[in-house]
Structure 1
Amino acid sequence: MPRAAALALLLASATACANDVPEANLERGLLPGHITTQAGVVQSLWNGAWIAALATGFVVIALIVWACIFHTKRKAKAELPPQVRYNLPIEMLYTLVPLVMVSVFFFFTARDSEVLTAESKNPDVTVKVEAFQWSWRFTTTVQGKQTTPVTGLPVSDYHQGPQLVLPVKKKVRFELNSDDVIHSFWVPEMLFKRDIIPGIPKDSPGRFFEVDTLDRPGVYAGRCAELCGVDHSRMLFSVKLVPQDEFDRYLASNQAGSAQ
Structure 2
Amino acid sequence: MGLELFARGERAQDERRRPVRSKAVGLGFAVAAIVLLSGCSPDSPSEWERLALPPGASDRVDYMFVLWVAAWIACAVVVVLILGLMFWAMVRYRRRPGNEVPSQLRYHLPLEVLYTVAPVIVVAIFFAQTVKSQTGMLEEVEDPEHHITVVGSKWQFTFNYLDEEATGGTPVFDYGDTADPTELWLPVDESVRFDLVSPDVNHSFWIPEFYFKQDIIPGREGSFDVTPTREGVFTGRCAELCGLYHTRMIFKVNVVSREEYDAHLQQLQAAGQIGEPQGGVEANQIAGLAEAQNAENGEHE
Structure 1 partner of 2:61: 39
Establish whether residue 153 from structure 1 lines up as the match of residue 177 from structure 2. yes
Q: Give the gaps of 5 or more residues in structure 2.
A: 1-44, 277-301
Superposed CA RMSD in Å reads: 2.8
Structure 1 partner of 2:244: 230
The alpha-carbon deviation at position 52 of structure 1 amounts to: 2.2
Taking the aligned partners of 1:86 and 1:60, their CA distance within structure 2 comes to 17
Look up the SS of the partner of 1:149 in the other structure: strand
The alpha-carbon deviation at position 243 of structure 1 amounts to: 1.3
Question: Given the alignment, which residue of 126, 129, 137 partners 1:108?
Answer: 129
Report the residue type matching 2:133 in the other structure: D
Taking the aligned partners of 1:84 and 1:231, their CA distance within structure 2 comes to 54
Establish whether residue 56 from structure 1 lines up as the match of residue 72 from structure 2. no
Q: Would you say the 8 A contact 2:187–2:255 is kept in 1? A: yes
Q: Would you say the 8 A contact 1:137–1:162 is kept in 2? A: yes
Change (3 A) 1:102 1:231: closer
Taking the aligned partners of 2:101 and 2:238, their CA distance within structure 1 comes to 61
Change (3 A) 1:30 1:209: farther
Establish whether residue 178 from structure 1 lines up as the match of residue 198 from structure 2. yes
Q: Larger relative contact order (C-alpha < 8 A, sep ≥ 6)?
A: 1
Q: Would you say the 8 A contact 1:138–1:149 is kept in 2? A: yes
TM-score (norm 2): 0.66
The alpha-carbon deviation at position 95 of structure 1 amounts to: 4.7
Q: Count matched residues.
A: 223
Establish whether residue 119 from structure 1 lines up as the match of residue 133 from structure 2. no
Q: Deviations over 1:28-70 (max 9, x none)?
A: 6643312112133212211221122112201210111010011
Taking the aligned partners of 1:194 and 1:168, their CA distance within structure 2 comes to 21
Taking the aligned partners of 1:75 and 1:183, their CA distance within structure 2 comes to 64
Question: Given the alignment, which residue of 102, 115, 125 partners 1:80?
Answer: 102
The alpha-carbon deviation at position 124 of structure 1 amounts to: 1.1
State how 1:212-227 maps to structure 2 within 5 Å: 212-214=227-229, 216-227=230-241
Taking the aligned partners of 1:32 and 1:223, their CA distance within structure 2 comes to 15
Change (3 A) 1:119 1:63: same
Change (3 A) 1:81 1:253: same
Change (3 A) 1:130 1:198: same
- Whose strand fraction is larger, Structure 1's or Structure 2's? 1
- Whose helix fraction is larger, Structure 1's or Structure 2's? 2
